[in-house]
Amino acid sequence: MGSTRYPTLYSIATSMHEPVDLSIDALTWRLHAMMRSEKIAHYRVVPSPSVGVWYRAWSWSAIHSTYVGMFDVCAYHEKYCTGDYQQYDNFTSCLAYLTALPDVPVGCPWAPLAGNAKACKFKHKLLVPFQPKHCYHMGPLTLADGSPNYDPDGKLKCSDAEECPAHPKTDFVLGEPTGEYLASMNAYDAAIAAAYNNPITNFSIDHYKFPKVAAAAV
C-alpha cells in the first residue's frame, strides 16, 4: 500500500523470518501482526538510506500530536498498566512527567526513538497492548527512591545511558515538521476529538481509540 508513496525504509529480521523490506505504511502493521500471531524472541531493525523518513514521522507525531503523542501514551497507561504494572499515580502525573521529557534524547539526538525522550515512550506505547512489561518502559526512568525502573526482565529502556551507546553518531537531525505534516496531524487530532467526545477534557477509558487486540500475555 505505502510502497508507492515512500521508499523502502527498513529490513526486518526476526527469529522466525527472513529479512523483509517494508514501506513506512506497512512496517508498524507488519510488526503488530507478527506479535499477534507469533511469539517473537527478538527482532532487529536495520536502517536503509531513507530511515530518516520513518524517524521523523514517528518523532514528530510523538512530539506534536495530541492524540498520538504523550496524551495518548498516558491513555494507554490507564488502559493497559494496572496493578503491578502501574507506573504513575494518575493521568495528570503521567502527563506532567512525559510532557517534560526532551523531544530527542540528550545523549544521542541522532537516534530519536532511543533514550530518555518522547518518541521512545511513544514507541513502547505501541507495544504495550501486546506485552505489559512495556508499561515500565513508558514509566519514569527512576523509582521514588532514585533506583532504576527496571522491567521484569531486568531491562531499562528509554535510558540514554543504556540505549545511546548502541546508536553510533550519525548526521541525522530531526528538525521541525513540515507544514503538510503539521496539517495532517492537526486534522487527525480534530477527527479523534470529534469521534471520542474531545478526550483531552472528557477522557474515558471505555470510549477511546484503543486497538482491538487479544489480551496481552503476562
Tell me, yes or no, if the pTM score tops 0.85.
no
| Mean pLDDT confidence for 8-31 | 40
Report d(CA 45, CA 29) in Å as an integer. 15
| Among 112, 115, 129, CA closest to 63 | 112
In this prediction, residues 62-85 reach a mean pLDDT of 96
Strands of the sheet containing 20-22, edge to edge, are 20-22, 10-14, 43-47
| In contact, 200 and 71? CB cutoff 8 Å | yes
- Judged against a pLDDT cut of 80, whether residue 196 lies above it is answered with yes
pLDDT in tens, 116-143: 999 999 999 999 999 999 999 999 999 9
Kindly indicate the confidence band of residue 40, based on its pLDDT and cuts at 50, 70 and 90. Answer: low
Residue 22's beta-bridge partner residues? 10
CA distance 136 to 154: 10
Local confidence band at 9 (pLDDT 50, 70, 90 cut-offs): very low
Q: What is the pLDDT of residues 142-192, one digit of tens each?
A: 999 999 999 999 999 999 999 999 999 988 999 999 999 999 999 999 999
Distance CA 56, CA 177 (A): 8
